[in-house]
A and B are shown apart, each in its own frame.
Chain A
Amino acid sequence: MDEEREILVIRYLAGELQGEELLRFEALLQSDEELQLLVKEYSSIGSGIQSFERKNVKAEIGAIIGTVSPADIQQYPPQSNSFFKFIKKLFKTVIGLGVVAGAVSVVLIGLNKFPVKNKYTEKVKQTLITVEQATGESVHLDTVFHTVYVTDTIVTTGTVKGFAPEQATPDTIVVYENELNGRTVQQAIRDKMKIAAHK
């Protein structure tokens, strides 16, 4: 009888009892003090056996991981791959250069020095060459205002977006395209200069 009870306790602690058998055992356990003591005793022995073997397993695992070379242990936090580091740096540099280029462009636009090249500026450039040849003076092209400067002379070849005539100084001669009336820009400038000289 004792043997049977003890086997039942061992099976109970191992979680082997199920259904009706488990219910019967638990009901008995509630009323039987001797059985309670037996469960406690076997539980204590079971727990002791577990911790005994746990020590052996720990030593076994310790011996295994003791063979791992420190060089094989992954660093923490993980160091990113050098290739990805290079790409990251390159990306940052490109972004940085983009920002600098953007800022320079804004400044250049502000200073009217942005080198816009289109059909219209090409037409103005041709005019400039003509004026330079005629006057022997250096000519500057401001592509933002689409304006030709000949020393103190401003020549425009059309309706100038953003150009304010009041920008012109008293010494400035402004020639608009619609004033040319078949004359060359050079002739128109000379005519205006003559008129100015008479004044």
Chain B
Amino acid sequence: MNDYELLRSIAVKDPQAFRYIYSMYFGMVSCFVQKNKGNEEDAKDVFQDALVVVYEKTLRSDFSLQCSLKTFLYSVCRNIWLKKLSRTTSTAHLTDVEEYVSIEEENTANTEEQEEKVHAALQQLGDKCRQILTLFFYYKKRMEEIASELSYANADTVKNQKYKCMQQLKRIMTNG
């Protein structure tokens, strides 16, 4: 399986692709993390986070791989571990085991408290509403796609439903 086939398989959450990437590259990430004040468990956590990042990148229509998947994955893991290290240590100088590239990161302006508030509200929201909102905000699906996936009459119905769901979510958040 080449890198592009792997990315295509990751985009549809093919378990075989995730297992293949894990068996091929976890050793590398584990070596890197353990060389930089971490242990096997840290490496597993970093690897899972990195696979989520790779998966999310495949959801973006403007994403294209500019290096090998191995280098990309290593670079993502490096960023994640650097961020985790910088929370606990003042100087985070890394010992690298591979070449890496600069990865554009998506920043969230939310504090942990705000995130928790949204998460709690989402759990109280009905299944249909939660599905519409996650399909829209996380999976970046268009109204037509959501309509087809959730068996709504058309995109306008989804648009109205999404508005109502947002109102409901905001109400839950305000009422606590």
> A residues bordering B, Cβ < 8 Å?
3, 6-7, 10, 14, 41-55, 57-58, 60-62, 64-65, 67-68, 72-77
Is B108 touching A61 in the complex (CB atoms < 8 A)? no
Are the CB atoms of A51 and B15 closer together than 8 Å? no
Question: Which of A42, A52, A58, A68 is B52 in contact with, Cβ under 8 Å?
Answer: A58
* Interface-centre pick from A47, A51, A52, A77 (highest chain B CB count, 10 A): A52
Q: Is the interface of B mostly helix, strand, loop or mixed?
A: helix
**A48 in complex: contacting residue of B13, B28, B56, B122, CB < 8 Å:** B122
Chain A nearest CB, measured from B59 CB (Å) = 10
Residues of A within 8 A of B133 (CB): 49
- The answer to whether A44 touches B110 (Cβ under 8 A) is yes
Interface set of B (CB-CB < 8 Å, partner A):
13, 15, 18-19, 22-28, 30-31, 47-49, 51-52, 55-56, 97, 108-110, 114-115, 117-119, 122, 133-134, 136-140, 159, 162-163, 166, 169-170, 173
- Whether B169 and A45, one on each chain, are in contact in the complex, defined by CB atoms closer than 8 angstroms, is yes
Q: Which of A7, A46, A55, A68 contacts B159 (CB 8 A)?
A: A7
Query: Measured between C-beta atoms, what is the minimum distance from B160 to chain A in Å?
Result: 9
Query: What are 8 A-B interface contacts by the 8 Å CB criterion?
Result: A3-B163, A43-B109, A47-B118, A48-B117, A49-B133, A53-B137, A60-B13, A75-B27
Q: A152 CA to B111 CA in the complex, in Å?
A: 105
**A7 CB to nearest B CB, Å:** 6
Chain B residues near A68 (CB-CB < 8 A): 19, 22-23, 26
Please give me the residue from chain A that is nearest to B14 by CB atom: A64
CB distance from A179 to the nearest CB of B (A): 78
Q: By the criterion CB–CB under 8 Å, are B115 and A57 in contact?
A: no
Contact A49 B137 (CB under 8 A): yes
Instruction: Given the known inter-chain contacts A49-B118, A67-B19, please indicate yes or no for A61 contacting B137, CB distance below 8 A.
Output: no
